[in-house]
Amino acid sequence: MLKIYGIKNCNSMKKAFDLLSELGLNYEFHDYKKQGIDADTLKKWLELKGESIILNKKGTTWRKLSEAEQQHALASEENLINALITHTSLIKRPVIQNDSQLIVGFNEDEIRLLK
């Protein structure tokens, strides 16, 4: 089953929802704001894609963190996972997962290959 993770009111998410609907792909939506995210899932994503792909440093949430908070988050994987759980907006969106793939960020070409 295709699962899409993110936040409902996000432009990248809206584009992903529209594209998945256009492709006729059924999916389950996991809303970070309402449902949170668990450490095991984040650990797997970080192992598969790496910190530079998962962590959204371009967003306002990252920029609002103090320099000390940013450095603390980057000091270890455990600290990063805790920061991502606390501030779910730090996770790039959308994250689309099925049995064999993990797509992070809106990439129309990769999403079209899911069909």
Catalytic residues: 10
DSSP per residue, 25-61 = --EEEEEHHHH---HHHHHHHHHHH-HHHHB--SSHH
How many other C-beta atoms are found inside a 10 Å radius of the C-beta of residue 25? 16
